[in-house]
C-alpha cells in the first residue's frame, strides 16, 4: 500500500503542475518549444546526485534504454505543451492520461509480461472510460477534436514508452541510480530545442532589453519545476514498487483535483486561471469524477 500513497502524492503534485503549465504556456512564454527548453534542460542537474549514490553505471544496451526513456519523456512533455496550447486543460489532461494508460497497459503486457488481477483490470477500464468521458464532451469553443488531441495522443505514446523502459531498468538497478540516469537524459531534449529560432529569440530579448512589465513568470516556473520533480520522483518510485499499469491508471486522482482547482479558480480568481463550463459539462464531469473514485477503489481492494 505504500506505493499507492506515494503515487497519490505524485498525482496531487502533477495536478497543480498541469494548471501552472497551462498558465505559463498560454500567457507567459507563449511557445511550447521555449517552455520545453526550461522544462528539460535543468534535468541534467540530476547528475549532481551521482556522487552521493556511488556513481553506479549502467551496462551494455541498458544505456540505450535509459537514453530512450529520457528522450521520449522530454518529447512527451513537448507534445503535451503543444496540446495544452490548443485546448483546455480539463480536457487535454484526462485525454492524455487515458492514452498513457492504454499504451502502458499493452506495452507492459507485451514487453514486461505484467499480468493484472481482475479487480485491477476493471479499475483500468473504469479509469480509462472516465478519462475519455471527461475529454470527449463538446464545449462552447469546440464541437469536434482540435489538433491538441492529436498532440495529446502522441504525448501519451511517448510517456508510455518512457515509463515502461524505466520500469524495466528498475528491475535491474537500484531505484535512485535508474531515476538519475533516465531523467538526466531528458536534458538531451533541452539541447535539441536550442536549434529552434524561437528559443534564440527568447534569449535575445532578455539580453538586448530589460522587460518593461512586471512578471512573475520566473517564480511560477520555479514552483512548477519543484512540484514537477516531486511528482516525477513519487510516480517513478511507485512504478518501481508496484505495477506500471496500475500506477499510471491512478492518474484519475489527478483529474479529480484538477477539476476542483479549475472550477475554483474559474469562479473566484478568473484573472489567474479561467475555463468556461456549461451546466451539461459540469454534470458530465461530476459523473466522470464518481467513476474515477470507483476505479481507484478497485486498486485499493
Grid cell listed for 94:
484526462
C-alpha span between 269 and 263 (Å, rounded): 10
Predicted local distance difference test score (pLDDT) of residue 86:
82
Distance CA 10, CA 271 (A): 27
> Residue with C-alpha cell 547528475?
47
pLDDT reported for residue 66: 96
Residue 213: predicted pLDDT: 45
pTM of the model: 0.82
Q: 84 or 9: whose pLDDT is higher?
A: 9
Do 102 and 245 contact (CB within 8 A), yes or no? no
For 186, which DSSP code?
T
Of residues 253 and 183, more confidence is placed in 183
> What whole-number percentage of the chain has pLDDT above 70?
88
Give the C-alpha separation, 77 to 230, whole Å.
Answer: 16
In this model, does residue 206 exceed pLDDT 60?
Answer: no
Q: What pLDDT, on the 0 to 100 scale, is given for residue 290?
A: 82
C-alpha cell at 265: 479558480
- CB-based burial label for 29 (10 Å; 0-12, 13-18, 19+): buried
Q: Which has more pLDDT, 293 or 138?
A: 293
**Across 267-279, average pLDDT:** 76
Residue 149 exposed, middle or buried by CB count within 10 Å (0-12, 13-18, 19+): buried
Amino acid at each position: 500500500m505504500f506505493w499507492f500513497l506515494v503515487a497519490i502524492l505524485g498525482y496531487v503534485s502533477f495536478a497543480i503542475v498541469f494548471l501552472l503549465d497551462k498558465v505559463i504556456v498560454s500567457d507567459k512564454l507563449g511557445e511550447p518549444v521555449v517552455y520545453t527548453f526550461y522544462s528539460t534542460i535543468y534535468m541534467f542537474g540530476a547528475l549532481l546526485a551521482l556522487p552521493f549514490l556511488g556513481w553506479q553505471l549502467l551496462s551494455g544496451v541498458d544505456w540505450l534504454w535509459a537514453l530512450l526513456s529520457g528522450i521520449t519523456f522530454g518529447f512527451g512533455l513537448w507534445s503535451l505543451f503543444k496540446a495544452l496550447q490548443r485546448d483546455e486543460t480539463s480536457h487535454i489532461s484526462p485525454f492524455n492520461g487515458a492514452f498513457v494508460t492504454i499504451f502502458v497497459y499493452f506495452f507492459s503486457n507485451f514487453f514486461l509480461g505484467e499480468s493484472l488481477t481482475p479487480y485491477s483490470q476493471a479499475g483500468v477500464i473504469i479509469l480509462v472510460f472516465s478519462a475519455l468521458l471527461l475529454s470527449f464532451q463538446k464545449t462552447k469553443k469546440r464541437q469536434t477534436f482540435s489538433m491538441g488531441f492529436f498532440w495529446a495522443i502522441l504525448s501519451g505514446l511517448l510517456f508510455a514508452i518512457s515509463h515502461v523502459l524505466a520500469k524495466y531498468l528498475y528491475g535491474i538497478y537500484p531505484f535512485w541510480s535508474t531515476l538519475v540516469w533516465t531523467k538526466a537524459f531528458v536534458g538531451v531534449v533541452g539541447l535539441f530545442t536550442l536549434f529552434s529560432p524561437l528559443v534564440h529569440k527568447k534569449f535575445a530579448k532578455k539580453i538586448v532589453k530589460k522587460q518593461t512589465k512586471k512578471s512573475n513568470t520566473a517564480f511560477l516556473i520555479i514552483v512548477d519545476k519543484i512540484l514537477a520533480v516531486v511528482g516525477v520522483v513519487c510516480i517513478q518510485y511507485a512504478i518501481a514498487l508496484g505495477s506500471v499499469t496500475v500506477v499510471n491508471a491512478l492518474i484519475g486522482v489527478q483529474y479529480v483535483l484538477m477539476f476542483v482547482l479549475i472550477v475554483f479558480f474559474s469562479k473566484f480568481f478568473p484573472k489567474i486561471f479561467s475555463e468556461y463550463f456549461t451546466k451539461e459539462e459540469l454534470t458530465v464531469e461530476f459523473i466522470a469524477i464518481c467513476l474515477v473514485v470507483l476505479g481507484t477503489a478497485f486498486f485499493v481492494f
